[in-house]
Amino acid sequence: MIPDFQTIMLPVLELLKDKEEHTLQELISKISDKYKLTEKERKELLPSGNQAIINNRVGWSRTYLKKAGLIDSPRRATFVITDKGLEVLNNNPQKINVAFLKTLPKFKEWQDDYSSKERIDESTEETEISSEKTPQELLDYAFQKLTNELSIELLDTVKSCTPVFFENLVIDLIVRMGYGGSRKEAGKAIGKSGDGGIDGIINEDKLGLETIYIQAKKWENVVPVKEIRDFAGALLGKKAKKGIFITTSHYPKSAYTYVNSIEHKIILIDGKKLTELMIENNVGLSIQMKYEVKKIDTDYFEEV
């Protein structure tokens, strides 16, 4: 089990008690070994997918220890324990967490200064102290929760649309993803065929070097695997190699087993995947607000 970032604080400080300089990657590796993390746990990512959870937690532990004056960074990406850090270790603390750090003058000074500028309320501070997740994790998980709720609401909205509107939505999504050439060309292709289980034909690239056949259906119940077989048969009749079956519902496991067993490449997009793609490509959505999470550009501060 991956330890939370506050649990990691004391072990990180203990790893630095040799007074030698250590890199962040060294600390991550040694903490991972200490807690006997599996290869899967070492690679487990934040919801955003941009960093391993253990790397994030060790990084935040290091940041908090540095703000408390217990460790220092003599050179870029290297860390060493301070006299204050050694003093804390010599007192044999049972644990080091945010509540403990708040008793140290340097950390308290940093928090007071930050709070006075940003007006952090007491409930926010309490969440920070009690949470097992780092600030970045809290942001990532909150974002994921909002996205999941949006996905559910978006699918309900799509299901309430008319079949014609759904076809147009599919056009907008596919064009936004870079297929089909222009919106006008794609509009002519989708909904035009209607034969042999095929709803439309769209170019895979703007030059039309290869075509993709599409089936787009609004379904409430699970899509019968027979529909997928009929679609594959239609592709065979057109001597086509690629197809996309899009639905507002979902597919049985047998459908995925079937498409993986045939020569043709058929992509199954269910309601959940459809909304994920709509959110990713901003189809039918507007940006309400935007947050930018920034970090120090260490290359900028590199001395020449």
Same domain? 125 vs 222: no
State how many domains the chain has: 2
pTM of the model: 0.64
Same domain? 112 vs 181: no
- Mean pLDDT of the chain, nearest integer: 83
CATH code assigned at 109: 1.10.10.10
Same domain? 14 vs 124: yes
Same domain? 32 vs 79: yes
> At 280, phi and psi to the nearest 5?
-65, -35
- Structural domain including 226 reads 158-280
For residue 140, tell me if it sits in a domain.
no
Please give the helix or strand (H or E) that residue 81 lies within, else none: strand 78-81
For residue 170, tell me if it sits in a domain.
yes
On the question of pLDDT at 117 being above 90, the answer is no
- Predicted pLDDT of residue 184: 63
CATH code assigned at 250: 3.40.1350.10
- Predicted pLDDT of residue 119: 40
Last residue of a domain, one of 133, 166, 198: 133
Same domain? 127 vs 219: no
pLDDT in tens, 151-185: 888 988 898 888 888 888 888 888 888 876 666 66
Selected residue with higher pLDDT from 71 and 203: 71
Same domain? 97 vs 170: no
pLDDT in tens, 2-43: 999 999 999 999 999 999 999 999 999 999 999 999 999 999
Edge-to-edge order in the sheet of strand 198-203 = 190-195, 198-203, 211-217, 242-247, 265-269
Please give the helix or strand (H or E) that residue 22 lies within, else none: strand 22-23
Same domain? 117 vs 176: no
Same domain? 116 vs 163: no
User: Percent of the chain at pLDDT above 90?
Assistant: 45
pLDDT band at 303 (very low <50, low <70, confident <90, very high): low
**Rounded to the nearest 5 degrees, what angle is found at the Cα of 135, between the Cα atoms of 84 and 75?**
45
Same domain? 163 vs 221: yes
For residue 202, tell me if it sits in a domain.
yes
Same domain? 201 vs 99: no
Q: Which residues contact 166 (CB under 8 A, 6 or more apart)?
A: 158, 216, 218, 248
Most confident of 6-15, 121-130, 261-270, 285-294: 6-15
State the greatest distance between any 2 C-alpha atoms of the chain, in Å, as a whole number: 80
For residue 292, tell me if it sits in a domain.
no
Inter-residue contact 204 to 179 (CB < 8 Å): yes
Same domain? 162 vs 129: no
**Strand runs labelled E in 116-260:** 190-195, 198-203, 211-217, 242-247
For residue 143, tell me if it sits in a domain.
no
For residue 301, tell me if it sits in a domain.
no
pLDDT in tens, 237-283: 878 888 999 999 999 999 999 999 988 899 999 999 999 999 999 99
- Predicted pLDDT of residue 183: 60
For residue 200, tell me if it sits in a domain.
yes
Of the given ranges (49-58, 132-141, 204-213, 273-282), which has the lowest mean pLDDT?
Answer: 204-213
For residue 29, tell me if it sits in a domain.
yes
Query: Both tokens of residue 135?
Result: 């600030």
Same domain? 206 vs 104: no
